[in-house]
Amino acid sequence: MRSVQVLALDTSTSCLSVALLRDGLTACEINLTVKAGHAGMLLSVIDEVLNKSGTPRTAIDLIAVGTGPGSFTGLRIGIATAKGLAESLGCRLVGVPSLDTLAHAAVPSYLPVMPVVDAKKGEVFCSRYDEHGSRFSGYMNLRPEEVVGLVRDETLFMGSGCELYRDVFIRGLGKLYHEAAMHLWNPRASVLAGIALGMAPETYPADVLPIYARESDAMLLLERTAKGKAKR
């Protein structure tokens, strides 16, 4: 019986993660901090993962991509690349929310889990999960003080928002605030691929879309411009 090969990638944060899973086991994974954007590195990292794992592109059965919420530019690059590969290779495609990937890396946990990812402008992208990784809230874009207002029980936090707003969380939550190890702060493509194996692939690659917990700066500018013209 032929092995099932899953190529997974996540570009939702400043960490670029690409992995190849073979029969549910990680054959190769590369995680890099990207300072100048994902566009110039993504395809070369994908090729490196495939080469190191001894996997030709034609052997890929499923492509899994992180859908955010996260960096608008990073998400567009990652999803466009995944769609292009799926269409050219004729393989299946699955989109996996990046916050789900973060949460699943920490479970099973002794506490509920809450990923908090830097959303810029003094806010975080976040969602809430139980000890087994089942999500029980929507994907949210909140100020750290609003996050504090949601938490009533001891909770395990992870993500870039921990470093940025740790003082706010500790001041507001005290002993309810617990922090995961730093290696769990960015979405790992190997975890993403594992989630994807249990999901139904999209019939059409175009159906895989990014999760935007808030509108992009460009859309907000267009809306303000339109409102200004309407008042004239």
The SS3 of residue 74 is helix
**CA–CA distances in Å: residue 165 to residues 38, 72, 99, 176:** 25, 21, 18, 15
Mean pLDDT of 108-117: 96
Reported residue count of the chain is 232
The pLDDT, as a whole number, for residue 232 is 54
Q: Judge whether residue 98 has pLDDT over 50.
A: yes
Separation of alpha carbons 65 and 230, rounded Å: 40
More confident residue, 200 or 185: 185
The SS3 of residue 75 is helix
What is the reported pTM? 0.90
Separation of alpha carbons 96 and 80, rounded Å: 14
Mean pLDDT of 96-104: 98
Mean pLDDT of 160-176: 98
Nearest 10 degrees: Cα torsion 193, 115, 105, 87: 0
The pLDDT, as a whole number, for residue 206 is 84
Q: Judge whether residue 100 has pLDDT over 80.
A: yes
The pLDDT, as a whole number, for residue 221 is 39
Which domains, and CATH codes, for the chain? 5-98+186-223 (3.30.420.40), 99-184 (3.30.420.40)
**pLDDT tens string 6-18:** 999 999 999 999 9
The pLDDT, as a whole number, for residue 202 is 76
Mean pLDDT of 71-83: 95
Edge-to-edge strand ranges of the sheet holding 5-10? 25-33, 15-22, 5-10, 62-66, 92-96
Token pair belonging to 91: 């393989």
DSSP element (H, E) containing 232: none
Among 70-84, 121-135, 141-155, 215-229, which stretch is predicted with the lowest mean pLDDT? 215-229
Token pair belonging to 128: 């809430």
The SS3 of residue 10 is strand
Q: Judge whether residue 140 has pLDDT over 70.
A: yes
Separation of alpha carbons 101 and 67, rounded Å: 10
The pLDDT, as a whole number, for residue 2 is 65
The SS3 of residue 189 is helix
Written as one string, the DSSP assignment of 97-138 is -HHHHHHHHT-S-SS-EEEEEE-STT-EEE--B-TTS-B-S-
Q: Judge whether residue 90 has pLDDT over 90.
A: yes
The beta-strand segments (E) located in 57-210 are 62-66, 92-96, 113-118, 124-126, 140-142, 155-158, 177-179
Of the chain, the end-to-end C-alpha distance in Å amounts to 68
